[in-house]
């Protein structure tokens, strides 16, 4: 019977630098590409953001950060117009600063 140990037998013959490069390469496969928004989607995002700020509603914001999409939930504290950044306060009263250029989707949260 052949008892193959798979990757274990090969890593002993590899340099640590090569093992690190292989791990980095595998991690890069998890990266997601940022999608570009068209004018209609940008207009819809602006409307939802304006409604959320006016009525102090909770929002769910999907944004692109570190080659992945992240979700942030909370209320919009204010919009920094000079830096084009949203300041979001979540339910734990932590402040999240999100660049407007990285926002992909905004939805009103069900209260």
Contact by Cβ (8 Å): 77, 91: no
Domain with 79 in it: 39-108
The answer as to whether 14 is a domain residue is no
Q: How confident is the model at residue 27 (pLDDT cuts 50, 70, 90)?
A: confident
Percent of the chain whose predicted confidence (pLDDT) is above 90: 57
> pLDDT of 68-101, one tens digit each?
899 999 999 988 999 999 999 999 999 999 999 9
Which whole number is the average pLDDT over 55-68? Answer: 93
CATH of the domain at 73: 2.30.30.100
Is 97 within 8 Å of 87 (Cβ atoms)? yes
Q: Could you tell me if residue 25 is inside a domain? A: no
**Which residue shows structure tokens 């920094």?**
80
Rounded CA-CA distance 86/106 in Å is: 12
pLDDT category at 5 given cuts 50, 70, 90 is low
DSSP-assigned letter for residue 102: G
Please tell me what DSSP assigns to residue 82: T
- Which of 39, 41, 56 lies closest to 109, judged by CA? 56
């Amino acid at each position: 019977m052949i008892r193959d140990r798979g990757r274990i037998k090969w890593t002993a013959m590899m340099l640590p630098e090569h093992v690190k490069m292989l791990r980095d390469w595998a991690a890069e496969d998890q990266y997601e590409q940022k999608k570009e928004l068209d004018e209609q989607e940008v207009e819809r995002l602006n409307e939802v953001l304006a409604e959320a700020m006016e009525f102090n509603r909770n929002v769910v914001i999907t944004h692109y950060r570190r080659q992945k999409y992240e979700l942030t939930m909370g209320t919009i504290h204010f919009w920094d117009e000079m830096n084009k950044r949203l300041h979001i306060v979540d339910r734990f009263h932590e402040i999240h600063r999100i660049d407007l250029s990285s926002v992909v989707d905004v939805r009103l949260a069900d209260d």
